[in-house]
Amino acid sequence: MLQGINRIGRSWVGRVVVSILFGFLIISFAIWGIGDIFRGQVRTQVATVGKQDITADAFRTAYQNEYQSLIRRTRQTITPEQARALGLDRNVLARLVTESALDQKAQQMKLTVSDGQVVQAIQNDPNFKGPNGQFDRNQFTELLRSNGLSEGQYVRDQRAVSTRLQMADAVSGGVPVPMAMREAVHRFQNEKRNLDFVALTPAQAGEIPAPTDQQLQTFFDERKASYRAPEYRSFNHLVLDAAALAKPDAVSDEDARRYYDRVASTRFGTPEKRNVQQLVFPTMEEANAASQKLKAGTSFEDLAKERGVDDATLNLGTVTKGEMIDPAAAEAAFGLAEGAASEPVAGRFGPVIVRAAKIEPGSQKPYEEVAGEVKRELAMERAKDEIERVHDAIEDQRAGARPLPEIAKERGLALGAVPPIDRGGRDKAGNPVADLPEPNSLVAAVFRSDIGADSEAIRLPSSGYIWFDVTGIEPARDRTLAEIRDRVANDWKSEEVQRRLSDKARELVEKLNGGAELAALASELGLTAQSATDITRSNPRPDLDRPVVTRAFATPVGKAGDAATDAGRTVFKVTSASVPPLVTSTQQAAAVEDQLRQALAEDLLAEYFADVEKQLGVTTYPENMRRAIGGES
C-alpha cells in the first residue's frame, strides 16, 4: 500500500490526490477520533481557582482526613452517604478553594512570613513536644513520616498557613463593636415585660358539628400529600454478639468459682479500704532509725512533725489496695493491724514506712448467692473470643447463598422477624418498633438494600455483627379517604377548633386595642384574666407557652396580641416593659462584646474570601468531585 502511494505521489496530479486524502483523514480524526488534541485534554481536577487547579488526589486526601476526623469527634459509625448528606464534600471543597485563593492573593501582594516565624510556629506546636515540654526532633520526624509528609512539604504548608492567618488578622483583627449593637443585644437578653392574658380553650370554640362528606373530601384532597402512606419494608435480622453465643450452662462450678475469686471483691461486694499514712525517707538507714523510734514509743504523727512532713503529704487518704500507686507500700499497708506501722519498705519512690490508721472492712456476697450471675459473666467473656470465628463462618455461608433462617437454625441463633416499618422505624400504626438492635444503622441499611441483595453485615459498636435480609417492600402510595376517615375527621375538627379560636382571639385583640378591659372581656367568656410580671425571653413562666412569649416581645407596649398554644390560644396585652442599664464593666458585658467581635470578624472574613475568589474566578467540576470520592451523581 505504501509503495502504491509512493508511486502515485511522484506526479503532480498524484500529489494533489494524496494531499486531499490525507487532509480528509486529518479532519476526520480531529472531529471524531482525536478531538482532544485540538479541544484540550480531559479535565480531572475538581476545581480551578484563578490559575491553580485543585486536583482530585488533593481533594480525596483532604476529604478522607476530614471524614475520619468526623467519625472520631462524634464517636459514631457514619456512612459515606451520611457524610455527603451532611455536606462534608462541599465543605472540604470550599475550604480548599478558599486556601488556594488566599495563597494566590498573598503571592500577588508579595506577602510571606520569615523562616524564623515558621520555625517558631513548629517548635511551639504541642504535638512535637517531648516529655520535658521542649521541641523533640525525633517526635517531629516520626509524626511527619506516619502522615506521609516530608519535612520540606510540611514547612511549605506551615508557611502558607501562617501567611493566611496574618492576612485574616489584617482583615478582621481588632474589629470594634458598635455601642448600638451591644445595647441591642443587652436589650434582647435583659428586657423584662409585664402582661395580662387569658387562655382560650377548645370549650370557647363551641360545639363543632360533624363534617359533611363533601367537607371531609375537600379537606382530604387539599392535604392528600400529608396522608400519603410511606414506603414500608419487612426484614429478618440475625444478631451475633457475646450474649447470643454465651452458654452459661456449659460453665463448670470449678471455673465459675475461680472467676468469682478473681473478681468478687470488686464485682460482688465492696473492697476493704484503709486510711493509710506514709513517710518517705532518702535512705534505708534513715528509715531504719525512724522505725526504731516508733518501736520506742514515738507516735507516727510526732515523727512526721520531726521530719517536717505536713498532713497533706503524710495522709494518702482512705483507699483500696488497688488504688495505691506503689505496690510494695500497698502490700505492706494492707497486711497491718489497725493502728500499726510497717517495717521499712523499699518502695517505688524510695524507702517508706506506712501505717494503717483505720480499717474499713469490705463486704462480699457468697458464691452461692451469685453463682448464676458469675456463670453468665464468664460465659460472656468466653463468647467474645468466638465472635470473629463465627462471623467468618457465617460470611462463608452467606457467600454460598444460604438463607438467613437456615443459618440461624443451624447455629442456634435467634432470628428476628420485623413486620413492615417505615424509614423512621415505625409500624403501620405509627408506633416505634421496640427491640431493634442498633436501630438507626439497621433501618438505614435496610432501606438502602433490596430483596435478594447480599447486604454487608453491620458492625455493632461494642462487639458483634448484624445480618439482615429484606423480605418485603411496600412502595409509598396515596391513601384513600376510606382508609383513614377517622383520622381525617379528627384533623378536620382540630383545625376547625383552631380557626374558631383564632377568630375569637382576633375579635378580643381588636376590642383590647380599642380600649376594652381584659378582665371584663374574660368575664363575659366565663374565664379569669391573669397577670405575668418580669417575663424575659430566656425565662418565661411555666403557664406561658413559648409562642406567647415570643409574640409578646414583638408587640408594642400598651397593645394586645395573640398566639396559638398546645391547649388552644392565648390573648394578651403588654402592660409595661423595662430594660436595666448597660454596665460595660461587668464580666457578662465583656463576654457579649467578645462574641460580637468574633461574629463581626467572621462576617468580614467571609466577605473578603468571597471577594478574593470572585476576583480570581472559581470553576468547579461536580462530576470529577463525585468520582474522586466515589459518590453518587
Query: What CATH number does the domain containing 307 carry?
Result: 3.10.50.40
Q: Does 472 or 310 have the greater pLDDT score?
A: 472
The answer on 58 and 151 residing in a single domain is yes
pLDDT over threshold 80, residue 633? no
Q: Compute the distance between CA of residue 246 and CA of residue 413 in angstroms, rounded to an integer.
A: 11
The answer on 58 and 27 residing in a single domain is no
pLDDT over threshold 90, residue 236? yes
The answer on 244 and 328 residing in a single domain is no
Task: For residue 330, tell me if it sits in a domain.
Answer: yes
What is the residue type of 21?
L
Q: Which of 11-25, 152-166, 215-229, 601-615 has the lowest mean pLDDT?
A: 11-25
Mean per-residue pLDDT of the chain: 85
Task: For residue 479, tell me if it sits in a domain.
Answer: no
Domain coverage including residue 537: 192-224+484-578
pLDDT over threshold 70, residue 532? yes
- pLDDT given for residue 492 in this prediction: 95
Query: What residue has cell string 405509627?
Result: 430
The answer on 389 and 432 residing in a single domain is yes
Considering its fold, how many domains does the chain have in total?
5
What region, left, alpha or beta, does residue 340 occupy, with left being phi > 0 and alpha being psi -120 to 50 degrees? beta
Query: What CATH number does the domain containing 61 carry?
Result: 1.10.4030.10
- pLDDT given for residue 23 in this prediction: 53
Q: How many CB atoms lie within 10 A of CB 277?
A: 23
Closest-CA residue to 421 (of 440, 443, 406): 443
What is the rounded average pLDDT of the residues 339-348?
Answer: 89
- pLDDT given for residue 158 in this prediction: 83
Question: What are the tens digits of pLDDT across the range 40-70?
Answer: 455 688 899 998 899 988 888 888 888 888 8
- pLDDT given for residue 19 in this prediction: 56
Task: For residue 244, tell me if it sits in a domain.
Answer: yes
Determine what percent of the chain is predicted with pLDDT higher than 70. Answer: 92
Task: For residue 585, tell me if it sits in a domain.
Answer: no
**300, 328, 361 — which closes off a domain?**
361
The answer on 299 and 343 residing in a single domain is yes
Task: For residue 253, tell me if it sits in a domain.
Answer: no
- pLDDT given for residue 15 in this prediction: 53
pLDDT over threshold 60, residue 26? no
Local confidence band at 608 (pLDDT 50, 70, 90 cut-offs): confident
pLDDT over threshold 60, residue 29? no
The answer on 440 and 302 residing in a single domain is no
CA geometry: angle 235, 237, 241, nearest 5 deg:
165
Task: For residue 123, tell me if it sits in a domain.
Answer: yes
State the DSSP code for 533: E
pLDDT over threshold 50, residue 425? yes
Local confidence band at 191 (pLDDT 50, 70, 90 cut-offs): very high
Task: State pTM to two decimals.
Answer: 0.56
Local confidence band at 11 (pLDDT 50, 70, 90 cut-offs): low
**361, 381, 410 — which closes off a domain?**
361
Query: What CATH number does the domain containing 376 carry?
Result: 3.10.50
Task: For residue 259, tell me if it sits in a domain.
Answer: no
Task: For residue 451, tell me if it sits in a domain.
Answer: yes
Following DSSP, what letter does each residue of 115-137 receive, concatenated? HHHHHHHHHT-GGGB-TTSSB-H
Q: Does 342 or 264 have the greater pLDDT score?
A: 342
Q: Which of 75-89, 96-110, 208-222 has the lowest mean pLDDT?
A: 75-89
Handedness of CA 395, 401, 404, 409 (dihedral sign): negative
- Cα 16 to Cα 3, 12, 21, 22, 440: the distances in Å are 17, 6, 9, 10, 75
Local confidence band at 631 (pLDDT 50, 70, 90 cut-offs): low
Question: Taking every pair of C-alpha atoms in the chain, what is the biggest distance, in angstroms?
Answer: 132
The answer on 144 and 55 residing in a single domain is yes
The answer on 78 and 22 residing in a single domain is no
In contact, 198 and 570? CB cutoff 8 Å:
yes
What is the rounded average pLDDT of the residues 192-217?
Answer: 93
Local confidence band at 155 (pLDDT 50, 70, 90 cut-offs): confident
**474, 500, 528 — which closes off a domain?**
474
Three cell numbers written together for 288: 531504719
What is the rounded average pLDDT of the residues 249-277?
Answer: 83
The answer on 133 and 52 residing in a single domain is yes
The answer on 414 and 511 residing in a single domain is no
Q: Which of 260-269, 347-356, 375-384, 443-452 has the lowest mean pLDDT?
A: 260-269
pLDDT over threshold 70, residue 460? yes
The answer on 433 and 503 residing in a single domain is no
The answer on 169 and 82 residing in a single domain is yes
Q: Compute the distance between CA of residue 211 and CA of residue 493 in angstroms, rounded to an integer.
A: 8
Q: Which of 7-11, 88-92, 444-448, 565-569 has the lowest mean pLDDT?
A: 7-11
- pLDDT given for residue 370 in this prediction: 82
